[in-house]
């Protein structure tokens, strides 16, 4: 099994775990998301069509990586702007 499919399976579990920390809404999300069932479906898809399953998993992994990179960039930009505002207002 490819690393991209394993990463997608880990993403399913991590997302369910992180969102599950939110009271009430997390419980509703857990009931709807069902990470383990999604992971079993990924395994079955990989057994039936390995190339297609791997391709779709790579796309998701790349999309998550791009979103995380954008989030880090936005956090750095906001930190820079906040520091500039704070240091500029003390003069």
CB atoms within 10 A of CB 57: 23
Residues 6+ apart with CB under 8 A from 19: 25, 26, 29, 30, 33
Distance CA 73, CA 44 (A): 37
Contact, 46 vs 1, CB < 8 A?
yes
Q: Could you tell me the pTM of the whole model?
A: 0.67
pLDDT band at 91 (very low <50, low <70, confident <90, very high): low
Contact, 30 vs 16, CB < 8 A?
yes
- Predicted confidence (pLDDT) per residue in 8-59, tens digit: 999 999 999 999 999 999 889 988 999 999 999 999 999 998 888 888 888 8
For residue 27, give the 3-state DSSP assignment: helix
- Predicted confidence (pLDDT) per residue in 71-83, tens digit: 999 999 999 999 9
């Amino acid at each position: 099994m490819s690393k991209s499919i394993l990463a997608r399976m880990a993403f399913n579990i991590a997302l369910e775990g992180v969102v599950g920390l939110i009271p009430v809404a997390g419980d509703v999300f857990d009931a709807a998301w069902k990470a383990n069932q999604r992971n079993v479906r990924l395994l079955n898809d990989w057994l039936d069509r390995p190339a297609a399953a791997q391709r779709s998993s790579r796309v998701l992994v790349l999309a998550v990586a791009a979103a995380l990179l954008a989030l880090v960039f936005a956090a750095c930009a906001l930190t820079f702007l906040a520091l500039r505002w704070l240091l500029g207002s003390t003069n």
